[in-house]
Amino acid sequence: MTPNPDWQEILRAAHNDPLDPAHYTAVRARVLAELERAHNPWRRLAWISGAGALAAALLLAIALQHRPTLPPLPEVAAAIPAAPAAPAVRERPIQTAVARPAPRRHRQPLTIKLQTSDPNIVIYWIAD
């Protein structure tokens, strides 16, 4: 550096020093990434919904894995006996005659004897 330089020349030279192209590239990449993101909202939505579905599937898988398992049911040792064979029924010819009303049988009335605490009192309840 000269001891008494032209200050304007120095500043202009410094100002015109080229910047590293990587700095420009970084800015352009950031801008384009931002614009791409804004241009494709559906893609972002698809990503979000896909991630949501994946998370839901994972949660479901975890929940199924951690479900308490019941012990197996004990086997029943006793065997159920076979039902007895039905007795043979002899078929009767069907009667076409008009069924008469069954004769009314005389039945004994139902009598219930109720004893009270007083031995002298006994209640009889006769139900027909």
Partner 1 sequence: MSIPADAPDGCTALDAARAGDLAAFDCLMRQYERLVLVTALRLTGSLPDAQDISQDVFLKLYRNLPKLDPACLSSWLYRVTVNACHDRRRRRRPEDPVDFAEQLPAAAADPQQTLAAAERRRVLALSLRMLPEKERAALVLRDLEGLSTQETAHILGCTEATVRSQVSKARVKVKDFVERYFRRRT
Interface positions with partner 1 (CB under 8 A): 1-5, 7-8, 10-15, 17-21, 23-24, 26-28, 30-32, 34-36, 39
Least Å from the CB of residue 45 to partner 1: 19
Least Å from the CB of residue 1 to partner 1: 6
Tokens of 79: 């065997």
Q: Which is nearer to partner 1, 4 or 95 (CB)?
A: 4
Check: CB of residue 127 under 8 Å from CB of residue 112: yes
Tokens of 86: 């039905």
Q: Which is nearer to partner 1, 16 or 69 (CB)?
A: 16
Q: Which is nearer to partner 1, 10 or 51 (CB)?
A: 10
User: Can you tell me which residue has the tokens 């005659």?
Assistant: 97
Q: How many residues does the chain have?
A: 128
Check: CB of residue 113 under 8 Å from CB of residue 124: yes
SS3 123: strand
Q: How far apart are CA 118 and CA 44, in angstroms?
A: 95
Q: Which is nearer to partner 1, 31 or 59 (CB)?
A: 31
